[in-house]
Amino acid sequence: MTRKKIQMKRINNTTARQVTFSKRRKCIFKKALELSTLCEAEIVLIVFRATGKLFDYASPRFLSLSHSSLLIEEHISGLLDSEQKQANHCNLNEFLRIN
């Protein structure tokens, strides 16, 4: 039995949209980890929720580089002012510990 093709459109129900975002965020971070492991690629993801909350992921190899955190911070600071960044930042390690 085959799956139906899902039509891509905005989810109008706010609660359903937030749940879908959370589930898909977990999946995309997991896929990024798989890709970095299988292909030895250095991957960085920065995801903003509709509310402005920031989620990020960096592959383990990328995090081992001494300048990696500086690169991420430079990109993030260009996107958010420092006060908002401090208030809204949730890194992947915190996310995985919570869930």
- H or E segment at 79? helix 68-79
Number of helices followed by number of strands (H, E) in the chain: 5, 3
Q: How sure is the predictor about 99, in pLDDT bands with cuts at 50, 70 and 90?
A: very low
Q: Does residue 56 come out as left (phi exceeding 0), alpha (psi in the -120 to 50 range) or beta?
A: beta
Q: 14-98 architecture in CATH?
A: 3-Layer(aba) Sandwich (3.40)
Q: What is the mean pLDDT of the chain?
A: 76
All residues at 6 or more sequence positions from 32 whose CB lies less than 8 Å from its CB, including other chains: 43, 45, 57, 59
Rounded average pLDDT over 21-33: 92
Domain boundaries along the sequence of the chain = 14-98
List phi, psi (to 5°) of 41: -95, 150
Q: What is the pLDDT of residues 33-79, one digit of tens each?
A: 899 889 988 888 888 887 878 888 888 777 666 565 666 666 666 66
Amino acid identity for residue 55 in this structure: F
